[in-house]
Structure 1
Amino acid sequence: MKAKFTGHDTFPLRYGWLFKAINHLNSNGKFSSSDEENIRHSIVELGVGKNMVKAIQYWAESSNIIKNERENGSYSHVISDNGVYLFGNGLDESGKDPYLELAGSIWLLHFWLNFNRDQLTAYRYFFNYANVQHFEKSKLVDDCYEDAKRLVKNEIGNSSTIKKDIDCFLNTYSKKLNTGTSKKSTKVDEDHFTSPLSELNLIQENGGGFYISNLSERPELPVEVFTFALLEFFKIETEESNVSTIDFDSLLTKPCSPGRIFRLSESGLGQKLDEIQEFTNKEVSWVDSLGLRQVNVSNTAKNNTINYLNNYYGKYNV
């Protein structure tokens, strides 16, 4: 795993940015940090400044909706399968939810953003490695800095670099409340309400640099998205073996697991597994008996992962 605590120029993910990134590539635009003509074209087409162009590219890459591919000796960005699925390719395939109108799409993006064992960022550190529910920002910076030394193989920069990344992460995921003594002075700070990921309510600012991110049951998390995430995790956990089971604790606590990424409590994971068992007609089932807690995944479920996700969008005729 490599450290990647820069690239967004401290801009949190904003509404419309991912659609802009896909639309830019669909219109034969290019993301480039060195070709001045392409940079100027991106600034005009995306309608933002140079630094925001870099931030849009960063978030699109990090959420795995675009990727950098080598072709004819040079690298260029293309839309990934994830990007085509959600946003479309501008040609013969329309996206499931290009304007992110459905809550399930935000949960899906959150999963894609954090389901990554190759690059460590502040948000991937928090959702996959941190073991806190109430924390002070300064302590999270220190913990991330120390743990990153152990987790990554390249230079991680200094603590101020990580602090900027954590600031960006918290502004992306949390809603900042400005509270006063009267009702009139209590409002949501608009500068911290620009990211779709804040809708998930996974992190709440408590004032004074303190934050809350409880593990809970997440009834608002669609079972279809949870099923997709569980099966994606199951694939990478069992890719070198031919097993059909995975233990409950792995789903709850391992990096990139649905329990970790969705901040599920132990009882919350159990409830989601009950839901998934009914939803998949026991193609994914689990047992909790005599100290044994494990999940069984059939070949049908393993080979048809995307179909479960399609069921979510099929309900909304999109």
Structure 2
Amino acid sequence: MATEKIKIKLQGHEKFALREGWINKALQILPENPDAFTRRDATDLFGIGSNMVKSLRYWMRAFGLTNNAGTELSETGRLIAQYDPYLEDSFTLWIMHSYIAKNEEFATTWFMYFNRCDAEELEKSEVVTILSREIKKYVNGGSFSEKSLSNDVDVLLNMYSRNKEKLNPEDKNISPFSHLALIKKLDGKYVKCHPSKRIFPEEVVLYELSLRLIGNEGISIEEVLFGEKGIVKIYNLSSVMANDYLDRLDTAGYIRVDRTAGLDMIYPVRELNPRNIIEDFYENN
């Protein structure tokens, strides 16, 4: 019996990191123009070059903002279009980051970096080496392009970090994800950083828990924090920070955290719906 081929995606972005203003273009244009990405006049419609249009189409899908065909906004895409089309709230960026960091099929490098690259301080070449090793294990003998992986790593590191010496608030080439400050470039190395509590609202953790609790009466703290696609991994939280957020959500009456008798479980106290959590955040902040 033939082994099912494992799907991965490298370099779907045409070597363009996501830029300020791109997502807003798609959020505005796509609802009225389902064929926007494939039209002959797509470059005029979006006001960017043809390869950038292809890149934007990729990013919209990689962040879970469109259907697979890129012809309509997803539920999350519609919510962001309604409440924060210019990505001005860090909550929006975290929700988008949540999707791409768990998107092993369509944003494989992002998934591998945030889930399977535990070293906190690395040169770019070291990141490539680690991710290459992890992808080889993941595809179980399948082939992939090392060059495409290297290009992916370039884009990822540029998206999430920025050179402070060259920082210009008017520079539209800056990625909005640099504002999350998850990666810092220091002396030629890229350092993973814990998010600032100032821009990391507890509703981000509540959103993650709501996804994990779908169809479950409870989940283990170990799994939700430290497992694959766990909160500590994809948001680079410290264990202390992560547990603090759980305790705050417990105090607020959303969940019950049970650490007695070695159970270490999380139970929902009220119904947790991902869509409702996103809507409630926007309407109350």
Q: How is 1:143-162 mapped onto 2 (pairs within 5 angstroms)?
A: 143-152=130-139, 155-162=142-149
Alpha carbons of 1:9 and 1:52: their partners in 2 closer, same or farther (altered >3 Å)? same
How far off is 1:192 after superposition? 9.3
Offset, 1:290: 4.7
The corresponding residue for 2:267 is 296
Q: CA deviation at 1:98?
A: 0.9
Shift of 1:59: 0.5
Over the aligned positions, Cα root-mean-square deviation in angstroms equals 2.3
1:2 maps onto 2:7 in alignment: yes
> What residue number does 2:75 align with?
81
Counterpart secondary structure, 2:71: strand
**Which 5+ residue runs of structure 2 have no aligned equivalent?**
1-5
Q: What does residue 308 of structure 1 align with? A: 277
Instruction: Look up the match of 2:57.
Output: 57
Equivalent position amino acid for 2:30 in 1: L
In the TM superposition, residue 115 of structure 1 has moved relative to its aligned partner by: 2.9
Equivalent of 1:101, from 74, 79, 88? 88
Give the letter for the 2:266 counterpart: V
1:110-134 deviation per Cα after TM superposition (whole angstroms, max 9, x unaligned): 1122232433522221112211111
Q: Does 1:198 align with 2:201?
A: no
C-alpha contact 2:159 2:178 (8 A) present in aligned 1: yes
SS at match of 2:10: coil
Partner SS state of residue 271, structure 2: helix
2:229 to 249, 256, 261: 256
The answer for the alignment partner of 1:212 in structure 2 is 191
* Aligned with residue 15 of structure 1, among 20, 27, 31: 20
TM-score of the two chains, using structure 1 as the length reference: 0.80
Partners of 1:152 and 1:119 in 2: CA distance:
14
Alignment partner, residue 265 of structure 1: 238
Whether contact under 8 Å (1:133, 1:215) holds in the other structure is: no
| Corresponding residue for residue 287 of structure 1 | 258
Whole-angstrom CA distance in 2 between matches of 1:270 and 1:103: 21
> For residue 99 of structure 2, what is the aligned residue in structure 1?
112
Q: CA deviation at 1:97?
A: 0.9
**Following TM superposition, by how much is the alpha carbon of 1:284 offset from its aligned partner in structure 2, in angstroms?**
1.1
Q: Across the two proteins, how many residue pairs are aligned to each other?
A: 279
Is the Cα contact below 8 Å between 2:157 and 2:190 reproduced in 1? no
- 1:140 and 2:127 aligned: yes
State whether residues 100 and 107 of structure 2, in contact with CA within 8 Å, keep that contact through their aligned partners in structure 1.
no
Q: Which residue of 1 aligns with 2:153?
A: 166
Q: Which amino acid aligns with 2:67?
A: K
Change (3 A) 1:193 1:218: farther
CA-CA distance at 1:258 after TM superposition: 2.0
Matched residues in 2 for 1:217 and 1:284: separation? 23
| Equivalent residue number for residue 43 of structure 1 | 43
| Bigger strand fraction | 1
Q: Deviations over 1:22-43 (max 9, x none)?
A: 22212315255xx6xx1x3110
Report the secondary structure of 2:61's partner residue: helix
Return the letter of the residue paired with 1:271: D
Segments of structure 1 that go 5 or more residues without pairing to the other structure are: 70-75, 88-94, 179-186
* Larger Rg over CA atoms: 1
Name the aligned partner's letter for residue 296 of structure 1.
Y
One-letter amino acid of the structure 2 residue matched with residue 27 of structure 1: E
CA distance in 2, matches of 1:285, 1:52: 46
CA distance in 1, matches of 2:279, 2:27: 21
Match of 1:246 in 2: 219
Deviation at 1:228, TM superposition (A): 0.8
Identical amino acids, percent of aligned pairs: 27
